[in-house]
Structure 1
Amino acid sequence: MMINSTSLKPQKLSPMLKKIFLGITTSLITFSSGIDLTLAADPFRTTDPRPIGSQTEAAFKAMFEQGNYKQTQNYLEKAKLQEPNEPLVYALLAYLAYQSQDFNALKSYSDQTLQSAKLLSTKDPLRGNLYIAVGLFLQGGHTILTEGTLKGAPKALKTLQEVLKSLNVAEKINPNDPELNLIQGYMDLLLSLNLPFSDSKEAIDKLEKQAKPSYLAYRGIAIGYQTLGQSEQALDYTKKALAQTPNHPEVLYLKAQILADQGEKLKAATPNTIPAQLQEAQQYFSQALKQSDQLPKRLVAQIFYEQCKNLNRIDNQGRPCDPLRDKIKDADGLWGPISSQLPPL
């Protein structure tokens, strides 16, 4: 690991712990690929594969290849019954709970992730310690969400140190493992983007050269470059991710964000022009929202809000983006409406 946990101090981390924990909690479950269920069950390894249950694998395919959260939840409910000892089942359920802001469920599934990971570690120490790290991080994310950064910072810092220890144990077993490098690469990258003494380039290299599946590594690298303000590099890696998952709504949304940011900066420099990037961003926002009914409503609301703001930049109108967003976010149920029922712009 690039981060020395003994050098982390609560007073230094407190302002950024929420961003780090929520960012990594989201990203840690974004590390698998959809594959044909008739083939090998391990989406990471071509040699020494680990068995993953068919329902869990189907959930991977629905979430990470198709971006279909609604279908993912259906598969996970079956996986709880058929594959109750797979920790990734509970990590994914924890993420769905986070999306719906159900913090009691988030805590329960975080605990179950950790418990099942400890059991797995007796049979498969590498994967077991990986998911111990995931479970601990989910618990840390819950602490920050429910207790706030100031009160939760000391607890979260202790949790972060335990996460790093578990990942170090897994790394000693096999530093070249693709699953390890994907999880660790995401974590290193997000830490490096928030802590000034760490190295983003090393994390990006790890994701690009050693992590699998590739499209999720590319997606993580694109987010890293976006955060660093290097939009052209971010676009390059978003295109690589889309080459493998061309209809994934969250990757389409990521590309829209990058283009919208480019266009906003260009328009600020030349106010009387409409940069092509704004128009292109609008197309990608629209493509992402075509699948609105398979995404959590809070995510749909955010994509819609950013599309609304982008359209205001294009035609200089004053659409009330905030209340339109809240109309989606405050609707009943977990999932977004079908695209034809989104508020008109």
Structure 2
Amino acid sequence: MSNAARPVKQQPWLLRSDLRLALVTGLSAGFGLLSPIPFGYYLPMTTAAVLSGSYGSSMKLGIQRLMGSLMGVLLLLIFSRCLDLPLALGLGLALGTTRLLGGALGLKVGYKVGGNIIVMGWLVHNDVESSWGALRLGWTAVGIVVSLWAARWVWPSRAIPALHRQFADLFDTFSSELSLDADVLRQDNPRRLPIEERRSRRTLMLNQLNGLRQQRQAAQVELGGNPENHPLHQLWSQLDLFASQLVSVHDGFRGLPAPVQSPRAVRELHEQEARVLDNQIAMLSQLSEELRRPSLLDRLELPIRALQNALNTQLGEVHQLRTVLEHATESSEGLVSEQRLRQIVLRASLLGHMAMVTKDAIPGLAGSTPVLEKR
């Protein structure tokens, strides 16, 4: 018997961005028609062409339209006023120049606006082309400003908050995994997780990481025409690097055999390691909480001072871990095999490296030292 076909999710026939476009364009049309300044109908024409589903897309379209309009007005004045050419020749050269300049400037849609201005100004508004061109530029600029304002404040895109939630969910997953590791370290007879479960848990984290990277591409559009210099872009890059490093360190940690609880010095070492994990969990939970705050969109940065106290506590626990590790290795010589002793040292080193990765990920607190530095 064949399986029932999976129902296809229907796309909504009306989106919030469509309602926003209709509302803003309608209000712009009313304002333009009621304004005593002539040619006000170019205001709704601009909002209809520029206002899109995201702020970044609206910014790009607005820049292209403004550059194309300015280029069209300048070429119109040059070819119609400054050069004494026949209509057919002058109009053809002006349109060809518009296409060449548009390609040189990287305009994908702006050159079409420039060509429209040349044709309309030369054939329809020939008597008042100078004032008409200036007024059209003015209405275009106002329309772009209105479109950008609407894209930011009227039913804005949720791409950036969704990305922040995905980062928070990923760090919550890390916290859950580290909590499981801490429980194993505290058990009297620790057992290593089955390989199938380890793989499934790792796959879950990798899927979350890949998912937020895809969401980041959508959120990147919201940052405007030069997103690489935006504070949120730098924050996302730092968080992405931090998450990737945590995955790598945790893979090494999970790859070690189950810990042993004898002799007593080794058990005390595992208890200290569990405390380091507890502090790491608290720090990741605090980071997740800050990422979920809506105020992050206004501050454009994480409150480093709020995380510094947790980080200082964690570094103190790591320093204590070094001391306990030295005592455990000295006390366990002859009681624990060399291979097991290397695994004990490696586990503590990975935890110390995790703390240093966290320290490096927090802006203003960069710099790390080896976990097993010699005294």
TM-score range, shorter chain: under 0.3
TM-score of the superposed pair, with normalisation by structure 1: 0.25
TM-score of the superposed pair, with normalisation by structure 2: 0.24
Structure ID, larger Rg:
2
